[in-house]
Amino acid sequence: MRLNADFSKRIVINTNEMPWEASPMAGVDRRKLDRIGDEVGHATSLVRYAPKSYFSPHTHGGGEEFFVIEGVFSDEHGDYPAGTYVRNPIGSTHKPHSEDGCVIFVKLHQFDADDTAQFSVDTANAAFGPGVVKGLSVLPLHSFGQESCALVKWEPGTVFNPHKHWGGEEILVLDGVFSDENGHYPKGTWIRSPHLSEHHPYSEEGCLIYVKTGHLALDQSPNLQQPSWKDTQ
């Protein structure tokens, strides 16, 4: 399967409008956002666990990164409530389940082999720091090589600087409405903007977004210098 696999294209999906598709495990459904391969390979998805469902024990051959959007995700290592960000590097294993049900945003097979940090962050109880413009606050989640990942909170009426995406930018709107000159993106919208794309973002009513930068189409730009997340969002 190749779904939204041309990373030079801008993609905007309001995930609320997508149907849930069954996965190979009963009680586990998903909305596929991008994918190269079938059950194993590069994949970005929303995954929904029904109460008392579980997934087969597995090893992450290409790493796994996820953010818990609703409910509580669990595995043998712990319970991760809504707002938890988790990284499981290449070679890590677990058996996921959810007692009360959950929805997670998950990216598979997108780890650098040297990116071996395994950790979780309870973002609901973490301190955000100031961003580069008034009204913006930032919680860095992870950086490795050219890639950076953060949660960014926008107070109502915040306007960011126009900017270019070195290595691309991927956003999931977690709350509120994020906007730029191309449109308005309510909670649940996934936006993938290619390398060297540009925009002028703002938020009229405020929002919380997950942002990853620097991970798209780097192979086309071997000498790319990625600015810090403070410069890009």
Residues that bind Fe ion (CB under 5 A): 64, 169, 233
What is the identity of the amino acid at 11? I
Q: How far is the CB of 183 from Fe ion (least distance, A)?
A: 13
Nearer to Fe ion by Cβ, of 97 and 125: the residue is 97
Distance CA 29, CA 185 (A): 24
Residues 6+ apart with CB under 8 A from 27: 49, 50, 52, 53, 54
Distance CA 148, CA 44 (A): 16
Q: How far is the CB of 139 from Fe ion (least distance, A)?
A: 17
Q: How far is the CB of 88 from Fe ion (least distance, A)?
A: 6
CA-closest candidate to residue 148, choices 198, 112, 200? 112
Nearer to Fe ion by Cβ, of 84 and 233: the residue is 233
Nearer to Fe ion by Cβ, of 42 and 127: the residue is 42
* Dihedral (CA of 196, 69, 86, 177) sign: positive
Q: How far is the CB of 176 from Fe ion (least distance, A)?
A: 16
Nearer to Fe ion by Cβ, of 120 and 125: the residue is 120
What is the identity of the amino acid at 231? D
* Cα dihedral: 3, 63, 215, 30 (round 10): 30
Q: How far is the CB of 145 from Fe ion (least distance, A)?
A: 19
Nearer to Fe ion by Cβ, of 62 and 83: the residue is 62
Distance CA 48, CA 108 (A): 15
